[in-house]
């Protein structure tokens, strides 16, 4: 495994989380895959053990009582969590980092309970008619006295089934520009149980069973100014900051999952015999293994380098997009190759490979599709030349 010149402390972080996943997550995966549910007692146990380990909300700074890991160190955490079921590692606890924008009483109501593991959050941006086109969102908030009245729907909202409150991005106005109308967006903190706000079951997905997506409905839901996170109409800036972290997360978790898949393929190739010899001796298999590990290592280095740029205060938009694009597409190729090496057994549920294969498909869609990443990369390259 590539180490990217990690310090002893950074390697210890990676090793600690990997051991946690193998011991506390792997044993429950089959149950979650079969039932599509995470039993409450298992969720609570994972959260408690994460708190005991000192890793809960490790993406938050020491100023709020957390581990204060930098971007590269947190990428290592997410990489190792990527080896396990997302439905279970969700309870390892990494609140949305944009909660650091909380001010005044929001700190005690949302930020501190979230980092202490007392309240769980989720984030809502996507709508039925606004996925990659964030500015096309129709969920809107209109001023009425001292309140905002919200109407509309969000969907594909991960983690909302367990959330005590949701960070919701809502259109709060519109500007006319030479390129047409442009929505102004504001982030709101919305508590579960707020009148006019409903959380209901979403769609059944073949990817990441047990890690559910939910639908949020707003029907004349009244929110006071105290629920605005950051500045009114400043949600797009908050959103861009958040997307840096989530895209690195997708990339790192893709690397972690790919390494687990690769281990299955490598061991199978070293043990399985056909035509009187181990199948790993056939170039048709051994060359696939060579390609797989090369792509995995390249994705790992690309992702850690992007995180390192953030730590050094350097522009990283293109590098993060490249990491997300390459790592998510790499995972698809690696899982497919691992199934090919296993032959028909690769598609049987005796092995978890078919699960990894299904899970891999969504990584090229959420947190910015591959097409969006290519747009970001190409625009960054051409903009420098005035094109």
Per-residue pLDDT tens for 60-96?
999 999 999 999 999 999 999 999 999 999 999 999 9
DSSP string, 177-215: ETTEEEEEEEEEEEETT-TTEEEEE----SSSTTS-EEE
Q: What pLDDT is stored for residue 1 in this prediction? A: 52
Distance CA 277, CA 292 (A): 22
170: Cβ contacts below 8 Å, ≥ 6 apart: 137, 139, 140, 141, 148, 150, 152, 185, 186, 187, 188, 235
Written in H, E and C, the secondary structure of 4-38 is CCCCHHHHHHHHHHHHHHHHHHHHHHHHHHHHCCC
The full set of domains in the chain, from first to last, is 8-94 (1.10.540.10), 121-232 (2.40.110.10), 237-384 (1.20.140.10)
Measured over the CA atoms of residue 125, residue 129, residue 133 and residue 139, the dihedral's sign is: negative
DSSP run (H or E) holding 273: strand 273-274
183: Cβ contacts below 8 Å, ≥ 6 apart: 135, 136, 137, 171, 173, 174
Distance CA 76, CA 15 (A): 9
DSSP string, 153-171: EEEEEETTTT-SEEEEEEE
Written in H, E and C, the secondary structure of 283-346 is HHHHHHHHHHHHHHHHHHHHHHHHHHHHHCCCCCHHHHHHHHHHHHHHHHHHHHHHHHHHHHHH
Q: What pLDDT is stored for residue 90 in this prediction? A: 97
Q: Quick one: the chain helix, strand, coil %, rounded to 5?
A: 55, 20, 25
Q: What pLDDT is stored for residue 32 in this prediction? A: 97
- The Cβ-side half-sphere exposure at 312, using a 13 Å CA radius, reads 9
Contact 321, 373 (CB under 8 A): yes
Q: What pLDDT is stored for residue 211 in this prediction? A: 96
Cα-based angle 120, 124, 128 (whole degrees, multiple of 5): 145
Tokens of 320: 């993060």
Cα-based angle 330, 336, 339 (whole degrees, multiple of 5): 140
Per-residue pLDDT of the chain (387 residues; tens, 9 = 90+): 556 689 999 999 999 999 999 999 999 999 999 999 999 999 999 999 999 999 999 999 999 999 999 999 999 999 999 999 999 999 999 999 999 999 999 999 999 999 999 999 999 999 998 777 777 889 999 999 889 999 999 999 999 999 999 999 999 998 888 877 888 999 999 999 999 999 999 999 999 999 999 999 999 999 999 999 999 998 887 777 666 778 999 999 999 999 999 999 999 999 998 999 999 999 999 999 999 999 999 999 999 999 999 999 999 999 999 999 999 999 999 999 999 999 999 999 888 999 999 999 999 999 889 999 999 999 999 998 998
Q: Which of 62, 43, 17 is nearest to 253 (CA)?
A: 17
Q: What pLDDT is stored for residue 2 in this prediction? A: 54
């Amino acid at each position: 495994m590539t180490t990217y010149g990690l310090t002893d402390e950074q390697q210890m972080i990676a090793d600690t989380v990997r051991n946690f996943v193998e011991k506390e997550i792997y044993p429950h995966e089959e149950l979650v895959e079969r039932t599509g549910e995470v039993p409450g007692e298992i969720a609570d146990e994972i959260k408690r053990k994460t708190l005991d380990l000192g890793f809960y909300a490790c993406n938050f700074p020491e100023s709020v009582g957390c581990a204060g890991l930098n971007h590269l160190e947190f990428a290592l955490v997410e990489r190792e969590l990527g080896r396990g079921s997302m439905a279970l590692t969700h309870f390892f606890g990494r609140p949305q980092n944009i909660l650091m924008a909380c001010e005044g009483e929001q700190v005690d109501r949302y930020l501190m309970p979230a980092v202490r593991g007392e309240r769980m959050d989720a984030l809502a941006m996507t709508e039925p008619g606004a996925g990659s086109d964030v500015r096309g969102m129709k969920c809107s908030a209109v001023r009425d006295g001292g309140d905002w009245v919200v109407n509309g729907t969000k969907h594909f909202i991960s983690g909302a089934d367990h959330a005590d409150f949701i960070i919701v991005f809502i259109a709060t106005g519109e500007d006319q520009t030479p390129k047409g109308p442009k929505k102004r967006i504001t982030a709101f903190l919305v508590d579960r149980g707020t009148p006019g706000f409903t959380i209901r079951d979403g769609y059944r997905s073949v990817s990441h069973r047990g890690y559910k997506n939910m639908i949020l409905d707003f029907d004349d839901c009244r929110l006071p100014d105290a629920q605005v996170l950051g500045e009114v109409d400043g949600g797009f800036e908050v959103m861009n900051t958040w997307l840096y972290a989530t895209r690195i997360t997708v990339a790192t978790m893709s690397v972690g999952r790919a390494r687990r898949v690769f281990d299955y393929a490598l061991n199978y190739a070293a043990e399985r015999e056909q035509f009187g010899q181990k199948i790993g001796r056939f170039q048709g298999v051994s060359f696939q293994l060579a390609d797989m590990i090369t792509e995995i290592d390249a994705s790992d280095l690309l992702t850690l380098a992007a995180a390192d740029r953030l730590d050094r205060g350097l522009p990283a938009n293109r590098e993060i997009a490249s990491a997300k694009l390459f790592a998510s597409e790499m995972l698809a190729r690696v899982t497919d190759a691992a199934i090919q090496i296993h032959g028909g057994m690769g598609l049987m549920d005796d092995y978890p490979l078919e699960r990894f294969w299904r899970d891999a498909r969504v990584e090229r869609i959420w947190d910015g599709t591959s097409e969006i990443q290519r747009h970001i990369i190409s625009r960054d390259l051409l903009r420098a030349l005035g094109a």
